[in-house]
Chain A
């Protein structure tokens, strides 16, 4: 009798611990969600007032206290394009090597280790590397080209990893089918692996590029300019970029209070770009998954 009371009391205590424990986890999740949504709400509500057709289609005027952000939008677009042209094919090629050709061994392990470590190198260190290699040694100067290549190196580990995931999702039977018919390795990859993995690779690439487009530290010293009255004419020109423009408007401006609402507008445009890119990639991924199920 006594022992059963003790037992039920103990089990009650355990029940209570579970209740409290799960409640704590729930509170943690809700506070994180609330925080994220509040950030978006804050930027949205304060930035929306600055957004207008003029804001999106004109250059800054009057010492950047009026006007728009068109040069920054164009600059970010151009630099991301260079990043894509550099990092996406290279990332895909490296992933094809790792997933289709490489045998398990010391070299392969070393390559994978390097990729994972590259993903952890601070973005400002990439910026320093870009200054030495692209700006000085290769003499590209501070330019769209230098900044785009620097961001390309930064995104390389992400594009490789994403491309490899896509290659892994192609069933081995597809490969075996081609080889059984006498196809060479490259024929097999071209006809039976790439067509099914390229959409997944591109999805990963888009996510990587969205992150690259929002980076500031790597472009600060490799080509981004404080203010340019004209749009860039060649890849050797400097450029304005959305993230750097936001930094300038928020901290370096001579009349910060006057420019604050333009900074909010810039932040909102940047966030909307990044979120749209991400949503696009997520939808693409969901559609691919459905396609695979059939």
Chain B
């Protein structure tokens, strides 16, 4: 009798220790997210001993290695990032939603079983390979079409980023379309609407918040993408004036300069400042998308 009780006390202890261990690994996710933010902040603060925050955020000139006066303004790169991202979404969003609608409403199960793995395969292509394709296949094509000396432009970057954003947009949009209750569709068809009308006037409006969330997640993906734009856009430092110009995005700038900069200099800290800006931008976008998706889930339940 006593031994049984002893065993169960020991057992209880063991059980609660095991639970604690699992819980700790769960809490790690929060810790990592906070850690990324805290360390980026901590490492970028020293940069602002020499740079004014106003210059950093509003100047268009970034020239940290200038022998006379180093300049640290990220506005040109921010504008480039936004331009390339908007271009990518203008291509990827309509295309992605069309593919999602096709998969959810038109394709036979057999076709779906072929198309879906191919889209998954697209998501699996490493970004450096997409960049390589942009460099070797697409940019010469663009140079020929627009009669440029080289095709390493914002447009090239947008096209390649569209490819990176497509799988996200397709899969989230398709999930939202599939989450629309069958009763909506049945009601629409019973009222005499055909399948196209049902798709456009009933299903897409019902799934619209998820579709918008897919747009935002695609945007987050495009803003944070490094290798693709680094290899495809030519990386010129000037303020961007058009899609047919060479541009340098925030991510590409970090990738280019972090390898050459001496550790623990103002320039080094400023690059982490750019990282912090990127983190905050993508965080805000992803959080918004997340809230939209949660709301939709509750609504459709």
- B275 on interface, CB distance cutoff 8 Å: yes
Interface presence of B88 (CB below 8 A): no
Among A28, A210, A270, the most chain B Cβ lie within 10 Å of the Cβ of A28
Asked if residues A275 and B275 are in contact (CB atoms below 8 Å), the reply is no
What CA separation (Å) do A288 and B151 show in the bound complex? 47
Tell me whether B224 and A124 are in contact (CB under 8 A): yes
Q: How far is the CB of A135 from chain B (nearest CB, A)?
A: 9
Interface centre among B21, B124, B231 (most CB of A within 10 A): B124
A267 x B132 contact (CB < 8 A): yes
Using Cβ atoms and an 8 Å threshold, which residues of chain A touch B95?
Answer: 28, 31-32
The listed residue with most A CB atoms (<10 A of its CB), out of B129, B200, B278, is B129
A136 to B194, CA, bound (A): 63
> Which residues from chain A contact B285 at a C-beta distance below 8 Å?
120
Q: Are A278 and B120 in contact (CB under 8 A)?
A: yes
Which residues of the partner chain B approach A42 to less than 8 Å between Cβ atoms?
A: 133, 137
Q: How far is the CB of A39 from chain B (nearest CB, A)?
A: 6
Report yes or no: A128 in contact with B40, Cβ–Cβ below 8 A: yes
Q: Give Cα distance in the complex from A274 to B231, angstroms.
A: 20
Known contacts A18-B196, A36-B122, A214-B126: A93-B115 contact under CB 8 Å: no
- The answer to whether the Cβ of B145 comes within 8 Å of any Cβ in the partner chain is no
Q: Within residues 261 to 278 of chain A, which ones have a CB less than 8 A from any CB in chain B?
A: 263-264, 267, 270-271, 274-275, 277-278
Identify the stretch in B56-64, B96-104, B239-247 within 8 Å (CB) of chain A at 4 or more residues: B96-104
Determine how close the nearest CB of chain B comes to the CB of A90; give it in whole angstroms: 5
- Please tell me if the beta carbons of B251 and A217 are within 8 angstroms of each other in the complex: yes
B132 touches A97 (CB 8 A): no
Point out the residues of chain B lying under 8 angstroms from A4, CB to CB. none
- Report if B52 contacts A (CB, 8 A): no
**A216–B127 CA distance with the chains assembled, in angstroms:** 8
Assess whether B109 is interfacial by the CB under 8 Å rule. no
Q: Contact: B35 with A185, CB < 8 Å?
A: no
- Number of contact residues on B: which range applies? 35 or more
CB-CB under 8 A from B43, the residues of chain A are 128, 132
For A252, the closest partner residue in chain B by CB is B259
Asked if residues B127 and A111 are in contact (CB atoms below 8 Å), the reply is: no
Decide yes or no whether A153 CB sits under 8 A from chain B. Answer: yes
Minimum CB–CB distance from A19 to chain B (whole Å) comes to: 8
By a CB distance below 8 angstroms, the chain B residues around A18 are: 194-197
Query: In the complex the two chains form, is A114's CB within 8 Å of B30's CB?
Result: yes
Residue of A nearest to B111 (CB): A29
Partner of B255, one of A33, A96, A217, A243: A217
Asked whether any CB of chain A lies closer than 8 Å to the CB of B254, the reply is yes
* B119, chain A: closest CB distance, angstroms: 8
Chain B residues 57-96 with CB under 8 Å of chain A are: 94-95
- Pick the contact of A93: B22, B118, B131 (CB < 8 A): B22
Residues in chain B near residue A215, CB distance under 8 A: 126-127
Does B45 lie at the interface of the complex (its beta carbon under 8 Å from any beta carbon of A)? Answer: no
User: Are B132 and A263 interface neighbours, CB within 8 A?
Assistant: yes
* B128 in the interface (beta carbon within 8 A): yes
Question: A29-B115, A124-B275 known; A250 and B231 CB under 8 Å?
Answer: yes
* A113 interface contact, C-beta 8 A: yes
B290 — which chain A residues lie within 8 A by C-beta?
113, 116-117
Q: In the assembled complex, which residues on chain B have CB atoms less than 8 Å from the CB atom of A77? A: none
A157 to B286, CA, bound (A): 14
Report how far A156 CA is from B29 CA in the complex, Å: 8
* Closest B residue by C-beta to A271: B129
**A218-242 contacts to B (CB < 8 Å):** 220-221
Within 8 A of B (CB), among A63-114: 90, 93-94, 96-98, 100-102, 110-111, 113-114
A14 x B194 contact (CB < 8 A): yes
Is residue B283 within 8 Å, beta carbon to beta carbon, of the partner chain? yes
A25 and B220 CA atoms in complex are apart in Å by 25
Among B15, B27, B36, B119, point to the contact of A121 (Cβ < 8 A): B36
Given contacts A36-B121, A116-B290, A251-B231, contact A185 B15 (CB under 8 A): yes
Complex: how many Å from CA A42 to CA B275? 34
Q: Across the interface, do B98 and A24 meet the contact criterion of CB distance under 8 Å?
A: yes
Residues of A whose CB lies within 8 Å of any CB of B are: 14-15, 17-18, 21-22, 24-26, 28-29, 31-33, 35-37, 39, 42-43, 90, 93-94, 96-98, 100-102, 110-111, 113-118, 120-126, 128-129, 131-133, 136, 153, 156-157, 160, 184-186, 207, 210-211, 214-217, 220-221, 243-244, 246-247, 250-251, 260, 263-264, 267, 270-271, 274-275, 277-278, 282
12 contacts between A and B (CB under 8 A): A35-B163, A93-B26, A97-B25, A114-B32, A117-B33, A117-B283, A124-B275, A125-B36, A128-B258, A133-B39, A214-B129, A243-B227
Closest A-B pairs by Cβ, 4 of them:
A122-B224, A214-B126, A18-B196, A28-B98
B residues adjacent to A (C-beta < 8 A): 11, 14-15, 18-19, 21-23, 25-30, 32-33, 35-36, 39-40, 42-43, 94-95, 98-99, 101-103, 106-107, 115, 117-122, 124-129, 131-133, 135-137, 163, 166, 194-197, 199-200, 217, 220-221, 223-227, 230-231, 251, 254-255, 258-259, 263, 271-272, 275, 278-279, 282-283, 285-287, 290
Given A37-B118, A243-B129: 17 more A-B contacts, CB < 8 Å:
A15-B194, A21-B200, A26-B106, A32-B99, A97-B25, A111-B29, A111-B30, A116-B290, A117-B287, A122-B226, A125-B36, A128-B271, A128-B275, A132-B43, A186-B19, A215-B127, A250-B136
